[in-house]
Chains A and B, each alone.
Chain A
Amino acid sequence: MTILVIAEHDGKTLAPATLNTVAAAAKIGGDINVLVAGQGIGAVAEAAAKIAGVAKVLVADNAAYAHQLPENVAPLVAELGKGYSHVLAAATSNGKNILPRVAAQLDVDQISEIISVVSADTFTRPIYAGNAIATVQSTAPVKVITVRATGFDPVAAEGGSAAVEAVAAVHDAGTSSFVGEELAKSDRPELTAAKIVVSGGRGMQNGDNFKHLYALADKLGAAVGASRAAVDAGFVPNDMQVGQTGKIVAPQLYIAVGISGAIQHLAGMKDSKVIVAINKDEEAPIFQVADYGLVADLFEAVPELEKLV
């Protein structure tokens, strides 16, 4: 068995989710190869070669693969993937965009967002917003799988010395082009990789009030997230959304502030090690999953918490 892992990166740096995906590959067993596709990605390929347990890094460096356009990257992955037992990608917006296209090209069903490996062909994954866990077996010749990062502890980023090999194949479908992007800039840790996450919900009342959470987060070295209600209300941008259809996080500490605890939000954070809920409504469902609940006005509690930590 040889497993192909698609590296997650922004063209410059290798994203941590790649390490969780390699960890899932290691659980399956067999040789692990990593594909880095993009343009001007030498530094990413170098980083991928250092990942513990990786045997070989394939580098497809071409303008067609810049910005990870799925119309061009998916045919590349499908072509290479034919020679592998498994093709894995992180369940990031990129992985979710590209991998089903690969699976269809290989004429196999995909298994989305696995959270554990039972055996080389059997995996578990959440369905119904995490209200049920399905055990799924694949008989596909190439098993195409996205990996939920929070289900697997990352492998070491250093320690490996994989061979790096260039891939010459160029696929340019010509059906799509990149126009632009608006990426949020933040000095805080990335939401899905942070050890502590402070999230705000509708109870924050407006975007300006999120400053209380930013102040607390900066004191704790935490990332800041939000519930769907807060994002829909326009308080904060969509990239901060934690939930079933947003980001899935599982930090050491999750502090939910002014969040009622809708099912779809819980789906995104209930695997956190310790959950704190601060809400003035003592009936809020969030308290049913919280290790520590504080019934209080968040506008008094959060500044006080910031002072005391």
Chain B
Amino acid sequence: MTPAIELSDVRKSFGATPIIRGVSLAIEAGTRQALIGPNGAGKSTLFNLITGKYPVTSGRIRVKGAAVTDLAPYEINRRGLARSFQVTNIFTRMSVFENIRCAVLWSAGYRYSFWHRISAARAVNERAETVLEQLNLTARRDVPAGVLSYAEQRALEIGITIAGGADVILLDEPTAGMSRSETEHVVGLIRQITAGKTLLMVEHDMSVVFDLADRIAVLVYGEVIAHDTPERIRANAAVQEAYLGVPQGGVA
């Protein structure tokens, strides 16, 4: 089966500084996976390479078997890959409903249409209302997104990501800065919306990672040092070393 995302020897340097140093990784379709690693390991950079925000220095990226290496973000998105951002990235002056609706438009086939009335686009509006209900944001429907609370904005951030119905979803620290109960709600939400889809997420909260992920990839200094099931990752010596600083072989 074709992997949902496939990286082959992807490298990225900013100036002379290598950030991603040869990552090869395959994310099987229909799985939930997490990308973890210490700060500065290059997790967000890797997301930005996969989604087309930055061009790669070398290497190839495939999404659902199709090469996307040099495509623009919007072209990659149209192939069914959507992402959220670590720092909330929403349409601040538009209403919550409009935020979601804009995220639905392209996938509903409206393209750059100026001959359709958006209020008559029934499928789009129904989909947007459904997503709002999933997010528990229906009551905030007509509020400008910029005035939402932090947790609500994070929920909207995820909503914009999934509204278009993409089947490969990348979430960048979806629970960052949230309280325990908010985190629990978001985890439930993620589980619900990614059923039957492919999820790759960057996350620092290990309870979330081990709760949600089928497999975990560990990125350290721009290299994937392990990619395995949660149990095996827990036992992995290299991972232990990366997080705990135990010298390899020192324990044995």
* Chain B binds chain A: no
Which residues of B come within 8 Å of A, CB atoms? none
